[in-house]
Chain A
């Protein structure tokens, strides 16, 4: 078992969730309730990573943030280290790639809240912020949790972007999915088997939790 790789994956997943919790809520509420021109395109953009091959994102991340590009060079001169092949670069890619996993369940949860409930809250003098904290957030909570679980689990398993963008550097960008690939190439069957079974069990538990939560929402609003 490659503990540093597992730890790195957990760290990457946790930071992705930390960033996508507020970002996801803001975007999901806009899409759920606002009518604005081009809304369909925004929704399409949010869903894009679902169908986009990870290598495509990896390619663009490298083109835009690699040391050979102006942005990458500027980054390096300011921060003294490249964005590509670093944990921070990986985190940025991971946030972009998980947008649909975070936004879509939240969007469905917010859409399931009847308009009358929010209007009633406003009529009784509650501010938008209090309405969000006391009414919307508790009602949407199961959807938000499944969004976070999905994001976390999906980050644990992400491979293509990490391979292209991360460069397989132990302790910095070698996540557990990459470590499994590495162990197989090194003929370390036992190491690969241990890590694979762990990820299998983890994914099963995560996706199971999402379905349990989804059933709970269904009962509430069905």
Chain B
């Protein structure tokens, strides 16, 4: 009877359009890459954005993604060890963290986080948005930055955690927090630029966000073509436009 239940339900999957899972720092960059891909190949893909850690859990549980853009290569290695990928994947970008302050915030953006420290001390900063360090690589990087600046303990009780970096950016852009430690690739977008100002944080404040993509088991032709396209010059130019540091080709 159980089987009948599911056989009767119509199957909505369009077999030819693969679903790609991407870290949400790629929200803008990869959307443009996908548009360029569709223009040049005539094939389309479906993108879904979220936190890398969450996607790994879903992939392990059998989610039907064909290509995974992780914000942290450790997650790709984990999947590779579990034999859920076709190979070890390829490094496509290195992400950077930025300090974002919405318009009207009493906090000034500086690369040393000096005013964030002062604002935490004098009460000007009541809330700062980061991604959840438990499963979002940018959240982990934000925690490292705050620790390195000796602010992690002081920031407790002031942290607003997004489920992924895009949600943290949403919190910050809405002006309901005074500052956010966000993906540089998101704050350079037009929408975020209209909502506040930002400063790029020095790369040595946190471990590099080495972003790796990998074809998952069961990947079809379109996903493979997209994988190749994401390593091509037009795609690399788009990643660069959104502030990613590019690895040398073929790493």
Q: Is B one of A's binding partners? A: yes
Enumerate A140-191 residues with CB–CB distance to B below 8 Å.
Answer: 167-172, 174, 182, 184-187
Chain B residues with CB below 8 A from A187, complex form: 170, 173, 189, 191-192
Q: A72 at the A/B interface (Cβ < 8 Å)? A: yes
Q: Indicate if the CB atoms of B12 and A85 lie closer than 8 Å.
A: no
Interface residue count on the A side (C-beta < 8 Å) = 33
Q: A84 at the A/B interface (Cβ < 8 Å)? A: yes
CA distance A124 to B155 in the complex (A): 78
Of B6, B19, B61, the contact of A172 (CB 8 Å cutoff): B19
CA distance A122 to B14 in the complex (A): 53
Q: B166 at the A/B interface (Cβ < 8 Å)? A: yes
* Secondary structure of the A contact surface, majority rule: loop
Chain A residues with CB below 8 A from B14, complex form: 171
Chain A residues with CB below 8 A from B13, complex form: 87, 171-172
Of A76, A82, A91, the contact of B9 (CB 8 Å cutoff): A91
Interface residue count on the B side (C-beta < 8 Å) = 32
Distance (Å) between the CB of B8 and the closest chain A CB?
8
Of A66, A81, A168, the contact of B64 (CB 8 Å cutoff): A81
Of A11, A72, A174, the contact of B48 (CB 8 Å cutoff): A174
Q: B176 at the A/B interface (Cβ < 8 Å)? A: no
Chain B residues with CB below 8 A from A167, complex form: 48, 58, 63
What residue in chain B is nearest A181 (Cβ atoms)?
Answer: B167
Q: Indicate if the CB atoms of A87 and B9 lie closer than 8 Å.
A: yes
Chain B residues with CB below 8 A from A86, complex form: 64
What per-residue 1/0 map shows which CB atoms of B159-199 lie under 8 Å from chain A? 00000101100100100000000000000010110000000
Chain A residues with CB below 8 A from B9, complex form: 15, 87-88, 91
What residue in chain A is nearest B186 (Cβ atoms)?
Answer: A187
Q: Indicate if the CB atoms of A82 and B46 lie closer than 8 Å.
A: no
Chain A residues with CB below 8 A from B85, complex form: none
CA distance A68 to B59 in the complex (A): 10
Q: A62 at the A/B interface (Cβ < 8 Å)? A: yes
Chain B residues with CB below 8 A from A170, complex form: 19, 46-48
Q: B233 at the A/B interface (Cβ < 8 Å)? A: no
Chain B residues with CB below 8 A from A185, complex form: 24, 27, 49, 164, 166-167, 170
CA distance A185 to B162 in the complex (A): 10
Q: Indicate if the CB atoms of A171 and B12 lie closer than 8 Å.
A: yes
Chain B residues with CB below 8 A from A66, complex form: 61-62
Of B47, B62, B166, B192, the contact of A85 (CB 8 Å cutoff): B62
Q: Indicate if the CB atoms of B64 and A87 lie closer than 8 Å.
A: no
CA distance A87 to B19 in the complex (A): 14
Q: B42 at the A/B interface (Cβ < 8 Å)? A: no
Chain A residues with CB below 8 A from B19, complex form: 169-170, 172
Distance (Å) between the CB of B180 and the closest chain A CB?
14
Are A85 and B5 also in contact (CB < 8 A) when A185-B24, A185-B49 are? no
20 pairs of residues in contact across A and B, judged by CB atoms under 8 Å: A8-B12, A11-B12, A66-B62, A67-B61, A82-B61, A82-B64, A85-B61, A85-B64, A87-B9, A87-B13, A88-B9, A167-B48, A168-B48, A169-B19, A169-B63, A170-B19, A171-B13, A171-B17, A182-B49, A185-B24
User: Sorted from nearest, which 6 A-B pairs have the closest CB atoms?
Assistant: A67-B62, A82-B62, A66-B61, A88-B6, A85-B63, A170-B46
